[in-house]
Amino acid sequence: MQTTLTATKASLKGSANSITANGGTSLVIHEKADDYQSDPSGNSGARIACAVLQ
């Protein structure tokens, strides 16, 4: 299965939203949607994919 995602609020430039700021960023994909109430993972289920962006 192949999926393409676009993060419109992320940037590669030296801005506050840069994914390269402070040494990089991690990306975690969960099995369900975030409920925007529970912390830290928003009751979004198991982690199904992870990556480190540097």
pLDDT digits (tens, 9 = 90+) for 10-43: 777 777 778 777 777 788 888 998 888 888 778 8
Give backbone dihedrals phi and psi of 50, rounded to 5 degrees, phi first: -140, 150
> What is the model's pTM?
0.53
More confident residue, 11 or 45: 45
Q: Give DSSP secondary structure letters for 2-32.
A: ------TT-BSSSSTTBTTGGG-EEEEEESS
What pLDDT, on the 0 to 100 scale, is given for residue 40?
76
